[in-house]
Copies of this chain bind each other. A is one copy, B any other.
Amino acid sequence: MPRYTVADLGDEVGRIVRVCGWLQPAGPAAEPEPAGSGTLADRTGAVRLTMPSDAVPNPGSAVEVVGTVVGTVAAAAGQSLELIVDRLSVAGPAEPDLPVSAASTQAERLDWRHLDLRRPGAQLILRVQTTLEQALRAAWAEEDFIEIHSPKLIPTGPRPQELFDLRYFERTAWLAQSPQFYKQMAMAAGLDRVFEIGPVFRYEPAVSPVHATEFTSVDVELAWIDSEADVMAAAELWLRAAIDAVARRHGDDIAALFGIRVAVPVVPFPRYTLSQAWEIARTAGHDGGGGDSGEGDDLDRDGECLLGRHVADRHGHQFVWVTDYPESARPFFHMRSAEGSSLSRSFDLLWNGIEVASGAQREHRHDRLLDQARSRHVPLDPIHRFLDFFRYGCPPHGGLGFGLSRLLMCLLGLPDIREATLLPRDRERMTP
């Protein structure tokens, strides 16, 4: 007998169907389910069951049900469905007393993540993630991008204090904190335009709502750009397409479960230089930062929030680019804005005041790259294979990287990156 999903049942009123899913616990603050009734959920929704009262398995059990679909028209709520159970079989029984409930703390929920993920909101986050990636990949496919899988085991790095190291047979290896160098290798290889969606690893000793030691990075790199503005303009279109796809596919569910109306952003996004951004933050009451020390510090969390609020008020926009970072605040391989300039061709992207992406035009000329590394006192030996990428003809190029969970946080208004991560990893949490 074929399997129906709950979402299909509306078309089957009066018919006998087979549905498979798990029995939901009674609502947190609600009364226990009355004898002989229950709720079955699958990946598409939930439906009320009426069954013999002695046949009700423990909440959480994975069950297969055969029964008749009954439709009742409630005045306010539109059509509401119910399943009169004819046969129920328990494919995977649950022990009594589920270890998590709506009253559990985040830590308890994450300890039992497989039960936590049964919440419709948690499932929706993963569906939105899937749609977001699909839409981004579709946009890149249109533009003839190659998908790469760069190695996560790397021989060394320029900033080993930010990396995890491991014993690799007779030597030490490190875990990649970004596919950056390999995206640039792809440019030197003539691949022209590449993307990668994969894990990166960061030695983050502090536990915070926006950081993780392992996360999924969405990385893109483009050759033959005229400047970093080409990367920004392209990224705006990709993001708009992806958010539009999410709004069309999941907009109603997001509104119902997260109380948020997904706003498809207008392009181009507002753009401010870092000094303008600091000026705005100071005008809005922030004291300090912003080059007072002559260093042109990056925005801190308060500065980001103030800028985000300003952009929302002034432009009615959730996004803002911050550009023209001092070269001293960025990696040595970012291109300078002009000959002798102390600024770099780099940018960050904020969404509702949270940094979701960072990028730049890179320096592709071997001699200048060497100069920039030397003037920053970057040891050349650990990066000589990176420097080799630029010795035999590398085109001008640039790109950016998004944090996938950060995008989901901002899109859905989530308070913590852990809610947007299948299984979060930080200094304190490595399980399940």
Q: Report which A residues bind B (CB closer than 8 A).
A: 3, 20-23, 41-43, 58, 60-64, 91-95, 98-99, 112-118, 123, 126-127, 129-130, 133-134, 137, 141, 144-155, 164-169, 171, 173, 175, 182, 185-186, 188-193, 198-199, 201, 205, 213-214, 216, 223-224, 364-365, 385-386, 388-396, 404, 422-423, 425, 427, 430-432
Contacts and interface: CB of A to CB of B under 8 A. Distances in A.
A203 to B, nearest CB: 8
CB-CB nearest 7 A-B residue pairs: A166-B166, A117-B189, A94-B393, A62-B395, A385-B432, A43-B192, A92-B394
B393 A92 contact: yes
Contact of A425 (B153, B223, B395, B427): B153
A390 B190 contact: no
B92 A185 contact: no
Nearest to A384: B432
B95 A153 contact: no
Contacts of A123: 189-191
Contacts of A186: 114, 117, 422
A149 B216 contact: yes
B127 A395 contact: no
Contacts of A151: 199, 214, 422-423, 425
A60 B114 contact: no
A42 B393 contact: no
Contacts of A115: 189, 392
B205 A21 contact: no
A395 B147 contact: no
A117 B164 CA distance: 29
Contacts of A430: 153-155, 168, 171, 173
Contact of A213 (B98, B153, B191): B153
B393 A22 contact: yes
Given A43-B144, A134-B141, A117 B422 contact: no
Interface of A is mostly: mixed
B190 A43 contact: yes
A291 B384 CA distance: 53
A385 to B, nearest CB: 4
Nearest to A126: B146
Contacts of A64: 224
A390 B61 CA distance: 10
28 contacts: A3-B224, A20-B223, A23-B393, A64-B224, A92-B364, A95-B392, A99-B392, A112-B388, A113-B185, A114-B186, A117-B191, A123-B190, A130-B146, A130-B147, A149-B404, A150-B422, A151-B425, A152-B201, A153-B430, A164-B166, A165-B166, A166-B175, A168-B430, A171-B430, A182-B423, A185-B423, A198-B198, A198-B199
B134 A148 contact: no
Contacts of A168: 164, 213, 430
A299 to B, nearest CB: 28
A20 B364 CA distance: 15
Nearest to A194: B126
Contact of A169 (B99, B155, B427): B427
A393 B129 contact: no
A385 B114 CA distance: 11
Contacts of A21: 190
Nearest to A405: B149
Contacts of A20: 223-224, 395
Contacts of A191: 43, 117, 123, 126
A152 B114 contact: no
A207 to B, nearest CB: 11
A198 B394 CA distance: 28
Contacts of A198: 198-199
Contacts of A116: 189
